[in-house]
A and B are shown apart, each in its own frame.
Chain A
Amino acid sequence: MADIALNARHDPEAAAATRRYFWNRFFVYAVLTLFAVIYLAPLLVVVFNSLREQSEIARNGLISLPRSFRLDAWAQAWGTYCVSGTCEGMKRNFFNSLWMTIPATVISTLLGAMNGYVLSKWRFKGSETLFNLMLLGVFMPGQISLMPWAFLLGKLGLTNSTYGLVLIHVVQGISFTTLFCRNFYVSIPDDLIKAARIDGAGFWRIFRKIILPLSPPILIVTVIWQFTGIWNEYLFGVVFTSGQQQPITAALVALTAGGTTARAYDVMSAAVLIGALPPLLIYLFGGKYFVRGLTQGAIK
């Protein structure tokens, strides 16, 4: 492309090519910018509205540049806003989500790593079949498991509790984490394991000394995938918990359901952002791994 530009002055044909190249570039960036605006606009609208005064939103509508700036809405959304009688904002639901997501992510990832290790490096007769059966869990629609879970959680005394949701997400997550880890461990050379076994290393020793040190890339992918998925989950949260026990997704729906009163867009915007922030931050800082998880999960 560079030599075309150099010759442009002398050669009309090359000048035409340069022009074409310019318009080509212009088109590429114009379309990308258009879509970038469409993708970013909703986020900007919410961020702006969380900082504007409600009276200003009521006057100028949701989509408008902020003419006032304050953080009150964030404070209210976090700690004092009233939803159906209780005035505690989102903080309790935020922590519910956190105490649901962290243990479920850690447990399901650890189990997935161990399962993946067995299914790739300690295969036994029928282990491939068992792996394929476990994979079916990836495709199960949550609706199929609602009534059985309702029964089991009732029996275990875990209805309307974060522990119940942790249990559900661990069980549901195992098939994903096993799939991710197994597909990653398959690429570790078997010779490495054989050599270690000849040296007398056993199952756990190989896991700790060889597999785990090689695992960070896949563990990060798995943790990000699980964390975002569980944090964002809604169905089980809304079915099996209520009120103060709800994770933030369910609480957001309850908050914004607002019936007849004028909508407090400023507070609701802040609340929505509080609910979106953890996965967004993970995405911004771990984007590379997020995309990797996505493409791996999809292609397999």
Chain B
Amino acid sequence: MSTHDLTVPVAPPAAPWRQRLGTMVPILVLAPSLAVSFIYVFVFTLWTLYLSLSNSSLMPTYGFVGLDNYASLWANRRWNIAYTNLFLFSGFYIVGSMAIGLLLAILIDQRVRGEAVWRTIFLYPLAVSFIVTGTVWSWLYNPVDGIQAFVRGLGWTDFSFALTANRNTAIYAVIITGIWQSSGFAMALFLAGLRSVDPDLIKAAQIDGASVSRTYRKVILPTIAPIFLAVAVIQIQFAIKTFDLVAALTRGGPGVSTTFPAIYVYDLMFQRGQIGEGAAAAMMMLAALAVVLVPYSLWIVWRRRAEGRNG
């Protein structure tokens, strides 16, 4: 940084074309990534949109059929199962993992010993793939070898726990496993939120004689309300994209009872050779994400502006 740097300003001025190139460098650095992202986001989406309006079956073809694929998709019983499952799953999964996550975060926030250990335990499932989680839980749900057999072995011989063996209950196996996997994530975000609450605010509430639970309900939780929304939005995203977990846990079964939109897209495109309808289903997934994310992003922008105005 010493002598060498000092010599730079007195070096002879660069040729004009080199100077211009110099100002172009940042744009040139960004250009490849921009181009690639542009293709990925816009070209790919329009491409799939077009396929969804085409008569593609085994191979992509480009005969235009309008909204036929969407019509046949929505008329399909399996698609009906898929989005019903998605709603059911989203509801339980989000509420369940947020409730458990909040509980764990509040407990850890009570100045417990070994905080790092607790956190590590609750969060590790998130590091592991849905494939691993789904596979292991599929064994635990197996009535012959898993939890049911274990409890019966303890002496409760008519104990029954065979969620994945039954069409009507298999979806709850997916829900429980999903909550197990991601309540640690909610915990981490809530804990970060709890720690960011102004300690003076809490002290003031305590001086006013508010009990611990009252302090949480009236002071702390309202201040971290935006985190609830952030966690919910992220988890809805997870839910809409759910594929791996189901693929490993139930493979969409028994029968087609745990079909999810993402599973159905895969099936239509690669198992049944109905690319057009598969593309339509993929577009519906994108639409679902947009319904959640567009208002959320607008709200974030609006809030940031409002904060900017207020100082």
Using a CB–CB cutoff of 8 Å, the interface residues on chain A facing chain B are 24, 28-29, 31-32, 35-36, 38-40, 42-43, 45-46, 57, 60-64, 111, 114-115, 117-119, 122, 124, 127, 130, 133-134, 136-137, 139-149, 151, 171-172, 174-175, 178, 198-204, 209, 228, 231-235, 238-239, 249, 252-253, 256-257, 263, 265, 268, 272, 275-276, 279-280, 282-284, 287, 290-291, 294-295, 298-299
Contact = CB atoms under 8 A, between A and B. Distances in A.
Contact of B121 (A39, A204, A239): A39
B222 interface: no
A135 B8 CA distance: 38
B149 A61 contact: yes
Interface in B24-55: 25-27, 29-30, 32-34, 36-38, 40-41, 43-45, 47-48, 51
Nearest to B226: A299
Where chain A touches its partner, the secondary structure class is: helix
Contacts of A203: 22, 25-26, 29
B150 A64 contact: yes
Interface residues on B, range: 35 or more
Interface string B231-248: 100100100110110011
A232 B129 contact: yes
A-B interface, 6 closest residue pairs, ranked by CB to CB distance from nearest: A200-B8, A232-B129, A283-B127, A122-B26, A63-B150, A143-B282
B156 to A, nearest CB: 14
B192 interface: yes
Nearest to B45: A144
Greatest chain A CB density within 10 A among B33, B41, B100, B231 is at: B33
Interface stretch (B74-82, B90-98, B180-188, B202-210): B180-188
6 contacts: A31-B103, A35-B122, A111-B32, A253-B248, A287-B116, A295-B188
Given A32-B108, A291-B188, A148 B43 contact: yes
B29 A115 contact: yes
Contact of B37 (A43, A133, A280): A133
B43 A199 contact: no
Q: Which of B1, B40, B100, B145 gathers most chain A CB within 10 Å?
A: B40
A91 B109 CA distance: 43
B279 interface: yes
A177 to B, nearest CB: 9
Interface in B99-137: 100, 103-104, 107-108, 110, 112, 116, 118-133, 135-137
B128 A280 contact: yes
